[in-house]
Amino acid sequence: MRVVRTGDGWLLQSSGQLTTPVPVDTRVFEAAYDTQWRPRQLTLEGSQAGISFRLESTFADGAATNTLQEGDRRSTTEAQIDPASVLLPNSVFASYEALAMRLADARPGAELPIYVPPRGRVSARVDAVGIQHIETAARTIEARTYRITFVDPSQPLDAEVWIDENDRLLRVSLPYAALEVARRDIASVSARLTTDPPHPGSERVRVPAAGFTLATTVTAPVDLTPPADGRWPAVLLVPGTGPVDRDEIVSGVPIFRQLAWTLTDRGFVVARYDKRGFGQSGGRAESAALIDYAQDVREMVRYLQRREDVDRDRIVAVGYGEGGWIGLLAARRENRIRGLALVATPGTTGATFVLEQQRDELRRTGTTGDQRQERIELQTRIHRAVLGDGGWDGIPDDMRRQADTPLFRSFLAFDPTDEVRRVRQPLLLIQGALDRLVPPYHAQRLQNVARLRGRRESTVELATLDGVNHLLLASGAEQNASPGNPEISPRVAEILIDWIERTLPAE
């Protein structure tokens, strides 16, 4: 990705690949702006789900002219736009460099005109502005964070953009598409967000695993009267399959850090860790499957059991997103896990869930019915090839390289209902009613299967939180929380604490 100062303005250039929710290979992206960051010309060439495309757009006097070649189809369209529009073609994250420049002077409440060529116009409303400090191997970066809403007539979409001290793009988070894109320096394993001040009960430890260690933060209660035996109930927070560290930062929201601090202040020892191959943990992510991450959970539980301040009969695992799948795999093999909570966890097979996300993305981007069907069929062929039910003939090599991995294979094949049937532990399902990424029917499906378990101790409860989304934010939380630091709904911790105290009461 390059940002070039030209004699009469700016030029953005990039190429790259995106694997989910829709495979996109961008071979050429060039966007030219004048000195005031008003668009002049756009060239975009590549393939989407195996179908080649080329888009040429020109801009003058508030008019956009788009020529799109997509497969064998060619079309030309014109549209009236704001002359100061930021160009954000779908799936091209280099285009957000222009948005970063325009956000640099924006304040909460500001609205910036956006054009998504050739689809149409939206606007970006700035909801909150904050500061984050990121420690890298070279320096500490002060990032300005902008929580924004893309105001689309059909469906408002939340996003977050981070920029550095030079107004350059650091990070883009699109929770509605389950996408997180970060600049190389802050995406490295050595980069960490700093928390100032840390929780007074926090302790950093390294937990031995299979030939490496898991970088872990354990938070223990302070200024609370300890139990008679000095042992607190414990909660292990299990991350999902995405590139997240122990804080489970999704769209700028440190979900696990906030949950850990709340639980600790209510009398729980809480452990959260960087997944193998991410953050400061060792191990290799590229060779890991779901079962390997589940083994890491078991090692974490054994570590908690060895602690003198933990009640070994009251250890609960809490999985967020696909972390719930990892928790299920671990709980079936580890009786030391006495209870399991699944938060915003998919209830279908991985293959079905990927196709569901892809359909939503194709609808959101305005893809036509025929094109949508072609891309769904290609994705289905990729799934069959990955799972060994079909061949790779006709599937581009780059797509095969991205898809043919142990993690994706185990993800596609995983059926959470099979694991739910087999686990004996009590289950708690927490689901946001406004979750668009993992809609409420997923939790209902898991609950229906869990109810069929015959053992008396194998209870299941479902808590659906009205007004709460996938990030566990209550409706309006962006406006009610401190700038740039929205807080997850307190009901999440309240429901979890109540369930643990009723299900695993202190003796």
The domains found in the chain, sorted by start residue, are: 2-187 (no CATH), 195-348+414-503 (3.40.50.1820), 350-409 (no CATH)
For position 293, what pLDDT does the model report? Answer: 97
AA identity, residue 285: A
**Over the Cα atoms of the chain, what is R_g?**
24
Q: What is the mean pLDDT of each run of 10 residues along the chain (507 residues)?
A: 91 84 84 95 89 93 94 91 95 93 93 93 92 84 91 81 94 82 81 75 94 96 95 97 81 89 98 91 91 98 98 98 97 97 98 92 78 88 95 87 92 97 98 94 98 93 96 65 68 98 94
Q: Is the distance from CB of 468 to CB of 432 less than 8 angstroms?
A: yes
Structure tokens at 89: 């073609």
From CA 452, how far away is CA 246, in angstroms rounded?
Answer: 34
Which residue in 404, 382, 414, 413 sits closest to 395, CA to CA?
382
Structure tokens at 75: 């079309």
Structure tokens at 108: 């909460």
Between the alpha carbon of residue 303 and those of residues 205, 213, 333, 347, 388, the distances in Å are 10, 12, 16, 29, 37
Alpha carbon 348 to its chain centroid, in Å, reads: 18
From CA 299, how far away is CA 135, in angstroms rounded?
Answer: 28
Helices and strands of the chain, counted as H and E runs: 13, 25
**Cβ-based neighbour number of residue 381 at 10 Å:** 19
Alpha carbon 137 to its chain centroid, in Å, reads: 24
From CA 307, how far away is CA 216, in angstroms rounded?
Answer: 14
Residue position matching structure tokens 């050739």: 118
From CA 85, how far away is CA 39, in angstroms rounded?
Answer: 7
From CA 364, how far away is CA 398, in angstroms rounded?
Answer: 25
From CA 148, how far away is CA 436, in angstroms rounded?
Answer: 17
At 354, phi and psi to the nearest 5? -60, -45
For position 244, what pLDDT does the model report? Answer: 75
Spatial CB neighbours of 322, under 8 Å, sequence gap ≥ 6: 240, 241, 242, 345, 346, 411
For position 21, what pLDDT does the model report? Answer: 61
Structure tokens at 240: 């999902």
Helix, strand, coil share (%) of the chain residues, nearest 5? 30, 35, 35
Q: SS in 3 state form for 100-114?
A: HHHHCCCCCCCEEEE
From CA 491, how far away is CA 223, in angstroms rounded?
Answer: 23
From CA 145, how far away is CA 160, in angstroms rounded?
Answer: 7
For position 362, what pLDDT does the model report? Answer: 82
